[in-house]
Chains A and B, each alone.
Chain A
Amino acid sequence: MKLLTHNMLSCHIKGVKNGYPFLIEVIKVSEHEADFDPDFLKHIFPRINWPAFLQAAEAMGCREGLPEAPTETALEDEQFQKAFHHALLEVTLEEGSLVCPETSRKFPVAKGIPNMLLNEDEC
Protein backbone atom coordinates (compact mmCIF):
# COMPACT_ATOMS: atom_id res chain seq x y z
CA MET A 1 0.00 0.00 0.00
CA LYS A 2 1.39 3.35 -1.08
CA LEU A 3 0.84 6.53 0.88
CA LEU A 4 -1.27 7.88 -2.00
CA THR A 5 -3.73 5.08 -1.27
CA HIS A 6 -3.46 5.66 2.46
CA ASN A 7 -4.34 9.29 1.91
CA MET A 8 -7.53 8.32 0.07
CA LEU A 9 -8.63 5.53 2.40
CA SER A 10 -11.13 6.23 5.11
CA CYS A 11 -12.85 3.87 7.53
CA HIS A 12 -16.24 2.70 6.20
CA ILE A 13 -17.63 0.93 9.25
CA LYS A 14 -21.26 1.95 9.63
CA GLY A 15 -21.75 4.79 12.08
CA VAL A 16 -18.11 5.90 12.18
CA LYS A 17 -17.84 9.69 11.87
CA ASN A 18 -14.12 10.37 12.17
CA GLY A 19 -12.62 7.42 10.34
CA TYR A 20 -9.86 9.48 8.78
CA PRO A 21 -6.90 9.18 8.64
CA PHE A 22 -5.93 5.61 9.41
CA LEU A 23 -3.04 5.19 11.81
CA ILE A 24 -0.33 2.95 10.41
CA GLU A 25 1.26 0.09 12.32
CA VAL A 26 4.38 -0.90 10.46
CA ILE A 27 5.89 -4.37 10.36
CA LYS A 28 7.65 -4.24 7.00
CA VAL A 29 8.19 -1.42 4.50
CA SER A 30 9.58 -1.79 1.01
CA GLU A 31 10.37 0.53 -1.88
CA HIS A 32 9.37 0.14 -5.50
CA GLU A 33 10.60 2.50 -8.13
CA ALA A 34 7.82 4.48 -9.84
CA ASP A 35 7.93 6.77 -12.86
CA PHE A 36 8.60 10.35 -11.85
CA ASP A 37 5.87 12.54 -13.27
CA PRO A 38 5.73 16.20 -12.14
CA ASP A 39 2.42 16.70 -13.99
CA PHE A 40 0.70 14.10 -11.87
CA LEU A 41 2.23 15.49 -8.68
CA LYS A 42 0.89 18.96 -9.49
CA HIS A 43 -2.49 17.51 -10.35
CA ILE A 44 -2.82 15.47 -7.19
CA PHE A 45 -1.19 17.90 -4.73
CA PRO A 46 -4.30 19.99 -3.91
CA ARG A 47 -6.18 16.80 -3.10
CA ILE A 48 -3.66 15.40 -0.64
CA ASN A 49 -4.61 15.86 2.98
CA TRP A 50 -1.22 17.13 4.14
CA PRO A 51 -1.41 16.50 7.92
CA ALA A 52 -2.54 12.91 7.24
CA PHE A 53 0.23 12.50 4.70
CA LEU A 54 2.90 13.78 7.13
CA GLN A 55 1.63 11.53 9.89
CA ALA A 56 1.77 8.50 7.61
CA ALA A 57 5.21 9.44 6.25
CA GLU A 58 6.43 9.72 9.83
CA ALA A 59 5.18 6.20 10.60
CA MET A 60 6.77 4.80 7.48
CA GLY A 61 10.08 6.58 8.07
CA CYS A 62 10.13 8.72 4.93
CA ARG A 63 9.33 12.09 6.43
CA GLU A 64 12.65 13.57 5.35
CA GLY A 65 12.44 16.59 3.06
CA LEU A 66 8.72 17.15 3.56
CA PRO A 67 7.85 20.60 4.93
CA GLU A 68 5.20 21.24 7.59
CA ALA A 69 2.88 23.22 5.37
CA PRO A 70 3.92 23.48 1.72
CA THR A 71 2.33 25.93 -0.70
CA GLU A 72 1.71 25.64 -4.43
CA THR A 73 4.99 27.45 -5.11
CA ALA A 74 6.93 24.71 -3.32
CA LEU A 75 5.86 22.41 -6.14
CA GLU A 76 8.25 24.15 -8.53
CA ASP A 77 11.16 23.12 -6.33
CA GLU A 78 12.72 19.94 -7.68
CA GLN A 79 14.05 18.90 -4.29
CA PHE A 80 10.53 18.96 -2.88
CA GLN A 81 9.10 17.18 -5.91
CA LYS A 82 11.56 14.33 -5.46
CA ALA A 83 10.79 13.93 -1.76
CA PHE A 84 7.04 14.16 -2.38
CA HIS A 85 7.20 11.63 -5.21
CA HIS A 86 9.27 9.22 -3.15
CA ALA A 87 6.97 9.31 -0.13
CA LEU A 88 3.74 9.32 -2.14
CA LEU A 89 4.38 6.65 -4.74
CA GLU A 90 7.53 4.66 -3.97
CA VAL A 91 7.42 3.75 -0.29
CA THR A 92 5.09 0.79 0.22
CA LEU A 93 3.72 -0.80 3.34
CA GLU A 94 4.19 -4.55 2.83
CA GLU A 95 3.09 -5.91 6.20
CA GLY A 96 1.36 -4.14 9.04
CA SER A 97 -2.07 -2.79 9.74
CA LEU A 98 -4.33 0.22 9.43
CA VAL A 99 -6.04 1.31 12.62
CA CYS A 100 -9.31 3.21 12.58
CA PRO A 101 -8.82 6.35 14.69
CA GLU A 102 -12.34 6.19 16.14
CA THR A 103 -12.97 2.52 16.85
CA SER A 104 -9.36 1.24 16.92
CA ARG A 105 -10.49 -1.57 14.61
CA LYS A 106 -7.44 -3.01 12.84
CA PHE A 107 -7.41 -3.72 9.12
CA PRO A 108 -4.46 -6.01 8.39
CA VAL A 109 -2.13 -5.29 5.48
CA ALA A 110 -0.58 -8.43 3.99
CA LYS A 111 1.63 -8.68 0.89
CA GLY A 112 1.04 -4.96 0.37
CA ILE A 113 -2.74 -5.37 0.15
CA PRO A 114 -4.93 -3.91 2.91
CA ASN A 115 -7.85 -6.12 3.86
CA MET A 116 -10.85 -3.78 4.20
CA LEU A 117 -13.49 -6.52 4.47
CA LEU A 118 -16.03 -5.84 7.19
CA ASN A 119 -17.87 -8.26 9.45
CA GLU A 120 -21.60 -8.42 8.92
CA ASP A 121 -22.27 -6.41 12.09
CA GLU A 122 -20.05 -3.57 10.91
CA CYS A 123 -21.88 -2.75 7.71
Chain B
Amino acid sequence: MGKGERPEHMAPPDIFYNEDEARKYTTNSRMIAIQAALTERALELLALPQDGVPRLLLDLGCGSGLSGEALSEAGHVWMGLDISTAMLDVAAEREVEGDLVLNDLGHGLPLRPGSFDGAISISAVQWLCNADRSGHDPRKRMKRFFETLYACLRRGARAVLQIYPENHLQAEMLVASAMKVGFSGGLVVDYPHSTRAKKYFLVLMVGTSTAVPQAKGLDGSEPEDEEAAQIKMAGRDRFKRRKTGSGVKGRDWVLKKKEQMRKKGYDIAPDTKYTGRKRKRIV
Protein backbone atom coordinates (compact mmCIF):
# COMPACT_ATOMS: atom_id res chain seq x y z
CA MET B 1 0.00 0.00 0.00
CA GLY B 2 1.49 3.32 -1.06
CA LYS B 3 1.40 6.57 0.82
CA GLY B 4 -2.01 8.15 1.03
CA GLU B 5 -3.88 5.23 -0.51
CA ARG B 6 -6.63 3.57 1.43
CA PRO B 7 -6.97 -0.18 1.15
CA GLU B 8 -10.74 0.27 1.14
CA HIS B 9 -10.40 2.03 -2.23
CA MET B 10 -8.46 -0.71 -3.91
CA ALA B 11 -10.61 -3.81 -3.69
CA PRO B 12 -13.15 -5.58 -1.45
CA PRO B 13 -11.60 -6.97 1.75
CA ASP B 14 -11.83 -10.62 0.76
CA ILE B 15 -9.79 -9.82 -2.35
CA PHE B 16 -7.48 -7.14 -0.96
CA TYR B 17 -6.23 -9.34 1.87
CA ASN B 18 -4.73 -12.06 -0.32
CA GLU B 19 -1.74 -14.26 0.51
CA ASP B 20 0.78 -11.48 -0.15
CA GLU B 21 -1.02 -8.93 1.95
CA ALA B 22 -1.61 -11.51 4.69
CA ARG B 23 2.07 -12.36 4.84
CA LYS B 24 2.88 -8.71 5.56
CA TYR B 25 0.96 -8.98 8.79
CA THR B 26 3.35 -11.61 10.09
CA THR B 27 6.65 -10.36 8.71
CA ASN B 28 6.37 -6.58 8.88
CA SER B 29 7.42 -5.62 12.40
CA ARG B 30 5.99 -2.11 12.08
CA MET B 31 2.52 -3.45 11.24
CA ILE B 32 2.74 -5.92 14.11
CA ALA B 33 3.74 -3.18 16.56
CA ILE B 34 0.87 -0.92 15.45
CA GLN B 35 -1.68 -3.73 15.75
CA ALA B 36 -0.42 -4.67 19.21
CA ALA B 37 -0.54 -1.06 20.43
CA LEU B 38 -4.06 -0.56 19.09
CA THR B 39 -5.27 -3.77 20.70
CA GLU B 40 -3.79 -2.79 24.03
CA ARG B 41 -5.57 0.56 23.91
CA ALA B 42 -8.81 -1.16 22.87
CA LEU B 43 -8.54 -3.52 25.83
CA GLU B 44 -8.00 -0.53 28.10
CA LEU B 45 -11.17 1.09 26.76
CA LEU B 46 -13.04 -2.20 27.12
CA ALA B 47 -12.58 -1.77 30.89
CA LEU B 48 -13.13 -5.38 31.91
CA PRO B 49 -13.17 -6.00 35.66
CA GLN B 50 -9.66 -6.76 36.91
CA ASP B 51 -10.47 -9.92 38.86
CA GLY B 52 -8.25 -12.35 37.01
CA VAL B 53 -11.16 -14.30 35.56
CA PRO B 54 -10.71 -14.94 31.81
CA ARG B 55 -13.53 -13.48 29.71
CA LEU B 56 -15.02 -14.63 26.45
CA LEU B 57 -14.31 -11.92 23.88
CA LEU B 58 -15.03 -11.37 20.24
CA ASP B 59 -12.47 -10.12 17.73
CA LEU B 60 -14.21 -8.67 14.69
CA GLY B 61 -12.00 -8.67 11.62
CA CYS B 62 -9.36 -10.65 13.45
CA GLY B 63 -7.22 -11.10 10.34
CA SER B 64 -4.07 -13.06 10.99
CA GLY B 65 -4.72 -13.00 14.72
CA LEU B 66 -2.30 -10.25 15.78
CA SER B 67 -4.93 -8.54 17.89
CA GLY B 68 -6.05 -11.91 19.20
CA GLU B 69 -2.57 -12.64 20.45
CA ALA B 70 -2.73 -9.55 22.63
CA LEU B 71 -6.06 -10.82 24.01
CA SER B 72 -4.54 -14.22 24.77
CA GLU B 73 -1.66 -12.49 26.50
CA ALA B 74 -4.13 -10.65 28.70
CA GLY B 75 -5.49 -14.08 29.62
CA HIS B 76 -8.81 -14.00 27.77
CA VAL B 77 -10.51 -16.54 25.58
CA TRP B 78 -11.51 -15.16 22.20
CA MET B 79 -13.23 -15.99 18.98
CA GLY B 80 -12.24 -14.28 15.75
CA LEU B 81 -14.32 -13.42 12.69
CA ASP B 82 -12.88 -12.34 9.37
CA ILE B 83 -13.87 -12.26 5.70
CA SER B 84 -10.46 -13.09 4.24
CA THR B 85 -9.57 -16.75 3.89
CA ALA B 86 -5.91 -15.91 3.29
CA MET B 87 -5.68 -13.99 6.55
CA LEU B 88 -7.44 -16.75 8.49
CA ASP B 89 -5.09 -19.34 6.97
CA VAL B 90 -2.14 -17.34 8.26
CA ALA B 91 -3.80 -17.16 11.67
CA ALA B 92 -4.34 -20.93 11.69
CA GLU B 93 -0.74 -21.46 10.60
CA ARG B 94 0.47 -19.41 13.54
CA GLU B 95 -1.67 -21.52 15.86
CA VAL B 96 -3.43 -18.64 17.56
CA GLU B 97 -5.41 -19.67 20.60
CA GLY B 98 -8.76 -18.28 19.56
CA ASP B 99 -11.23 -20.09 17.35
CA LEU B 100 -11.66 -18.66 13.86
CA VAL B 101 -14.79 -18.21 11.76
CA LEU B 102 -15.05 -17.03 8.15
CA ASN B 103 -17.82 -14.45 8.07
CA ASP B 104 -18.84 -11.19 6.42
CA LEU B 105 -19.62 -8.62 9.15
CA GLY B 106 -22.16 -6.99 6.85
CA HIS B 107 -24.20 -10.21 6.85
CA GLY B 108 -24.55 -9.94 10.62
CA LEU B 109 -22.84 -12.10 13.23
CA PRO B 110 -23.90 -15.75 13.39
CA LEU B 111 -23.96 -15.71 17.18
CA ARG B 112 -26.33 -16.62 19.95
CA PRO B 113 -27.76 -13.69 21.96
CA GLY B 114 -26.07 -12.65 25.20
CA SER B 115 -23.02 -14.84 24.88
CA PHE B 116 -19.99 -12.53 24.90
CA ASP B 117 -18.34 -10.39 27.60
CA GLY B 118 -17.02 -7.87 25.12
CA ALA B 119 -15.90 -7.26 21.57
CA ILE B 120 -12.96 -5.53 19.99
CA SER B 121 -12.19 -4.73 16.39
CA ILE B 122 -8.98 -3.27 15.00
CA SER B 123 -9.15 -1.35 11.72
CA ALA B 124 -11.98 -3.35 10.23
CA VAL B 125 -15.37 -1.70 10.59
CA GLN B 126 -14.71 1.14 8.12
CA TRP B 127 -14.85 -1.51 5.39
CA LEU B 128 -18.60 -1.62 5.98
CA CYS B 129 -18.88 1.88 4.52
CA ASN B 130 -18.07 0.57 1.05
CA ALA B 131 -20.44 -0.99 -1.41
CA ASP B 132 -18.37 -3.75 -2.95
CA ARG B 133 -21.07 -5.50 -4.89
CA SER B 134 -24.04 -4.12 -6.73
CA GLY B 135 -26.39 -5.59 -4.14
CA HIS B 136 -24.59 -3.97 -1.20
CA ASP B 137 -26.21 -1.14 0.69
CA PRO B 138 -23.70 0.11 3.30
CA ARG B 139 -26.44 1.47 5.56
CA LYS B 140 -28.27 -1.85 5.63
CA ARG B 141 -25.06 -3.80 6.17
CA MET B 142 -24.06 -1.50 9.03
CA LYS B 143 -27.48 -1.82 10.63
CA ARG B 144 -27.41 -5.60 10.40
CA PHE B 145 -23.89 -5.67 11.85
CA PHE B 146 -24.70 -3.45 14.81
CA GLU B 147 -28.01 -5.20 15.50
CA THR B 148 -26.41 -8.61 15.73
CA LEU B 149 -23.43 -7.23 17.67
CA TYR B 150 -25.79 -5.67 20.19
CA ALA B 151 -27.68 -8.92 20.56
CA CYS B 152 -24.68 -11.18 21.07
CA LEU B 153 -23.18 -9.06 23.88
CA ARG B 154 -24.17 -9.46 27.52
CA ARG B 155 -25.75 -6.59 29.37
CA GLY B 156 -23.11 -4.18 30.64
CA ALA B 157 -20.62 -5.40 28.04
CA ARG B 158 -18.73 -3.08 25.76
CA ALA B 159 -17.57 -3.16 22.19
CA VAL B 160 -14.50 -1.14 21.27
CA LEU B 161 -14.11 -0.72 17.53
CA GLN B 162 -11.00 1.05 16.29
CA ILE B 163 -11.74 2.57 12.90
CA TYR B 164 -10.05 4.58 10.16
CA PRO B 165 -12.90 6.74 8.90
CA GLU B 166 -12.27 8.47 5.61
CA ASN B 167 -13.82 11.71 6.86
CA HIS B 168 -15.95 12.91 9.74
CA LEU B 169 -19.18 12.08 7.92
CA GLN B 170 -18.23 8.44 7.70
CA ALA B 171 -17.46 8.40 11.43
CA GLU B 172 -20.78 10.07 12.18
CA MET B 173 -22.61 7.58 10.03
CA LEU B 174 -21.09 4.68 11.99
CA VAL B 175 -21.90 6.28 15.34
CA ALA B 176 -25.47 7.07 14.28
CA SER B 177 -25.98 3.55 13.02
CA ALA B 178 -24.75 2.10 16.34
CA MET B 179 -26.92 4.43 18.43
CA LYS B 180 -30.00 3.54 16.40
CA VAL B 181 -29.88 -0.11 17.44
CA GLY B 182 -29.64 0.77 21.14
CA PHE B 183 -25.96 1.13 21.95
CA SER B 184 -24.89 3.98 24.18
CA GLY B 185 -21.43 5.50 24.10
CA GLY B 186 -19.66 7.33 21.33
CA LEU B 187 -16.47 8.15 19.56
CA VAL B 188 -13.21 8.49 21.49
CA VAL B 189 -10.52 10.27 19.49
CA ASP B 190 -6.98 9.79 20.80
CA TYR B 191 -4.52 12.58 19.97
CA PRO B 192 -7.09 14.64 18.07
CA HIS B 193 -4.55 17.37 17.23
CA SER B 194 -2.03 15.14 15.56
CA THR B 195 -2.54 13.95 12.00
CA ARG B 196 -0.38 10.88 12.38
CA ALA B 197 -1.16 9.71 15.90
CA LYS B 198 -4.90 10.43 15.68
CA LYS B 199 -6.88 7.27 16.37
CA TYR B 200 -10.62 6.76 16.42
CA PHE B 201 -12.24 4.31 18.81
CA LEU B 202 -15.95 3.67 18.70
CA VAL B 203 -16.76 2.77 22.30
CA LEU B 204 -20.20 1.16 22.48
CA MET B 205 -22.00 0.02 25.60
CA VAL B 206 -24.91 -2.32 26.07
CA GLY B 207 -27.44 -1.36 28.68
CA THR B 208 -25.80 0.66 31.42
CA SER B 209 -24.86 4.11 30.26
CA THR B 210 -21.60 4.93 31.95
CA ALA B 211 -19.62 7.91 30.78
CA VAL B 212 -17.61 7.62 27.60
CA PRO B 213 -13.93 7.19 28.54
CA GLN B 214 -11.50 10.06 28.22
CA ALA B 215 -9.49 10.32 25.03
CA LYS B 216 -5.71 10.62 25.10
CA GLY B 217 -3.73 13.68 24.07
CA LEU B 218 -6.43 16.29 24.51
CA ASP B 219 -3.99 19.01 25.64
CA GLY B 220 -3.47 20.60 22.21
CA SER B 221 -5.53 23.72 21.63
CA GLU B 222 -6.23 24.28 17.92
CA PRO B 223 -9.75 23.51 16.87
CA GLU B 224 -10.29 20.71 14.43
CA ASP B 225 -10.77 22.08 10.95
CA GLU B 226 -13.96 21.04 9.29
CA GLU B 227 -13.38 18.87 6.32
CA ALA B 228 -15.48 19.87 3.37
CA ALA B 229 -15.23 16.37 2.00
CA GLN B 230 -18.40 14.74 0.88
CA ILE B 231 -19.25 11.26 1.94
CA LYS B 232 -18.54 8.83 -0.83
CA MET B 233 -19.68 5.35 -0.22
CA ALA B 234 -18.95 3.61 -3.47
CA GLY B 235 -16.25 6.10 -4.40
CA ARG B 236 -13.45 3.88 -5.52
CA ASP B 237 -10.71 5.64 -7.46
CA ARG B 238 -10.77 3.00 -10.11
CA PHE B 239 -14.30 4.11 -10.99
CA LYS B 240 -13.26 7.74 -11.27
CA ARG B 241 -14.24 9.22 -14.60
CA ARG B 242 -11.38 9.67 -17.01
CA LYS B 243 -10.51 13.20 -18.17
CA THR B 244 -12.93 14.08 -20.94
CA GLY B 245 -11.82 15.40 -24.35
CA SER B 246 -8.66 14.63 -26.22
CA GLY B 247 -5.34 16.35 -25.64
CA VAL B 248 -5.58 18.32 -28.92
CA LYS B 249 -6.06 22.06 -28.51
CA GLY B 250 -8.86 23.83 -30.34
CA ARG B 251 -9.14 26.92 -32.56
CA ASP B 252 -9.47 29.30 -29.60
CA TRP B 253 -6.17 28.09 -28.22
CA VAL B 254 -4.41 28.54 -31.57
CA LEU B 255 -5.80 32.08 -31.95
CA LYS B 256 -4.64 33.01 -28.46
CA LYS B 257 -1.15 31.68 -29.07
CA LYS B 258 -0.85 33.48 -32.41
CA GLU B 259 -1.89 36.73 -30.75
CA GLN B 260 0.72 36.23 -28.04
CA MET B 261 3.48 35.62 -30.56
CA ARG B 262 2.41 38.67 -32.61
CA LYS B 263 2.75 40.81 -29.49
CA LYS B 264 6.26 39.52 -29.07
CA GLY B 265 7.03 40.82 -32.57
CA TYR B 266 7.20 37.60 -34.56
CA ASP B 267 5.95 37.39 -38.10
CA ILE B 268 2.74 35.40 -37.85
CA ALA B 269 0.41 34.29 -40.64
CA PRO B 270 -2.95 36.09 -40.64
CA ASP B 271 -6.02 34.48 -39.06
CA THR B 272 -8.29 32.94 -41.70
CA LYS B 273 -11.10 30.41 -41.81
CA TYR B 274 -8.44 27.74 -42.14
CA THR B 275 -6.77 28.62 -38.86
CA GLY B 276 -6.79 25.74 -36.38
CA ARG B 277 -8.17 23.28 -38.93
CA LYS B 278 -6.79 19.83 -39.36
CA ARG B 279 -4.42 19.34 -42.27
CA LYS B 280 -5.86 17.49 -45.18
CA ARG B 281 -4.32 14.10 -45.43
CA ILE B 282 -1.95 13.95 -48.39
CA VAL B 283 -1.99 10.56 -50.04
Contacts and interface: CB of A to CB of B under 8 A. Distances in A.
A112 B101 contact: no
B108 A123 contact: yes
Nearest first, the 4 closest Cβ-Cβ pairs linking A and B are A12-B110, A5-B99, A40-B54, A116-B103
Contact of A2 (B99, B111, B133): B99
Interface of A: 1-2, 4-5, 7-12, 20, 34, 37, 39-40, 43-44, 47, 49, 111-118, 120, 122-123
B109 A111 contact: no
A117 B111 contact: no
B100 A8 contact: no
Nearest to B152: A8
A117 B110 contact: no
Interface of B: 52-56, 77, 79, 83, 88-89, 92, 97, 99-104, 106-112, 114-116, 133, 135, 144, 148, 152
A11 B108 CA distance: 10
Contacts of A40: 53-54, 77
A11 B89 CA distance: 23
A9 B77 CA distance: 16
B102 A116 contact: yes
A122 to B, nearest CB: 8
Contact of A12 (B77, B97, B102, B109): B109
B112 A10 contact: yes
B79 A5 contact: yes
A9 B92 contact: no
B107 A118 contact: yes
A20 B53 CA distance: 28
